[in-house]
Amino acid sequence: MSIKDRSHLTTEKRNPRTEQIDTLPTQAIVDMINSEDLCVAAAVGKERMAIARAVDMIVHRFREGGRLFYVGAGTSGRLGVLDASECPPTFGVNRSLVQGIIAGGRRALVRSIEGAEDHEDDGQNAVVKKKIRAADTVVGIAACGLTPFVRGALKEARRLGAGTIFITCAPEAVNQARADIVINPVVGPEVVTGSTRMKAGTATKLVLNTLTTAAMIRMGKTHGNLMVDLKATNEKLKDRSRRIVTELTGLPSRKAEALLKQAQGHLKTAIVMHFKNTTPLKARQILKRNDHSLRKSIE
């Protein structure tokens, strides 16, 4: 398939349902966009088995000391950076564990960098610059499936022995994708032809959310559906930490706050202190012996 001719890609085709959208009143335009968006979750759901395999790959490599890298251009790149940036405050992980690489660099996060995605060499160099190694996982994101920057990054990642995952909304690109796992939510042509920031972007965000959230759950970063490894970096998260301690221990809010203060704000430590009636130091030791799993530590 020619990279220059994208006319046959699903992501570039005209949507027959929206060809007259500019003639409609505002409410009808909004309803039509909403109607098209309804297909996105179902399209992602059809890829659940591939997504689960991808999560298992990421978790296995995390446990081997590896990291997760998202690579993309434009909307795809921004979504990768967004998902990566949310992992440290939500799950208490180091900022190096999940990283986003976007064609054009940091400036491309807030403005379009024309032509930044058009060179495979740039993608390869970005992977080299990050010192990606065999234990890492590299996720290439390209709605149309043909982005040279992403292809170059995946090619270099494979050469280095890293695990590779490819996310695209174009079924035409699947057979050409050279990655260990391909995730292909087919959302169909966009409301505005080629505007993959819409349905394709929404599908991509759902997939990325699932990859990191499921991986972090498998890594013991939650207790049930509570984010017990969060970093309380603002008042909202401090309040959430206090409520989580109250929820799990049954302590009143004031005592939960005092317990957190003793544990220097570390949620898991505070909870283990309560259930094991022990000091912060011994609570941390108990967590370490149990692979930092709160459930194992208190049961």
Candidate list 12, 36, 47, 117, residue with the active-site label: 117
**Per-residue confidence (pLDDT) for residue 230, from 0 to 100:** 87
Q: Each residue of 175-191: b (16+ CB within 10 Å) or e?
A: eebebbbbbbbbbbbbb
* Contacting residues for 55 by C-beta, under 8 A, at least 6 apart: 210, 211, 214, 215, 218
Confidence of residue 114 (pLDDT cuts 50, 70, 90): low
Active site (annotated) includes residue 117: yes
Q: What pLDDT, on a 0 to 100 scale, did the predictor assign at position 52?
A: 98
pLDDT (tens digit per residue) in 46-76: 999 999 999 999 999 999 999 999 999 999 9
> What residue ranges of the chain are covered by domains with CATH 3.40.50.10490?
10-218
Look at residue 112 and tell me whether its pLDDT is greater than 80: no
Please identify which residue in the block is written with the tokens 């530590």: 297
**pLDDT reading at 245 higher than 60:** yes
In the beta sheet, which residues pair with residue 226? 223
Q: How far apart are CA 198 and CA 36, in angstroms?
A: 10
Using CB atoms within 10 Å of the CB of residue 114, give its burial: 0 to 12 exposed, 13 to 18 middle, 19+ buried.
exposed
Residue 240 has pLDDT above 60, yes or no: yes
What is the predicted pLDDT for the residue at 2?
47
Cα-flanking dihedrals φ and ψ of residue 137, to 5°? -120, 130
Q: Are 162 and 133 in contact (CB under 8 A)?
A: yes
CATH 1.10.8.1080 location in the chain = 235-298
- Which range has the worst mean pLDDT, 122-131, 149-158, 232-241? 232-241
* Cα–Cα distances in angstroms (integers) from residue 105 to residues 73, 81, 200, in the given order: 9, 11, 22
Mean model confidence pLDDT for the chain: 93
For residue 177, name the pLDDT band (cuts at 50, 70, 90): confident
Give the C-alpha separation, 230 to 237, whole Å: 8
- Known catalytic membership, residue 299: no
Q: Which of 164, 186, 160 has the alpha carbon at shortest distance from 173? A: 186
| Band of residue 191 on the pLDDT scale cut at 50, 70, 90 | very high
Nearest-angstrom CA–CA distance, 275 and 179: 46
Structure tokens at 245: 């301690």
- Report the topology of domain 235-298: Helicase, Ruva Protein; domain 3 (1.10.8)
Domain 10-218 fold is: Rossmann fold (3.40.50)
The CA distance from 206 to 210, in Å, is 6
Mean pLDDT of 162-167: 98
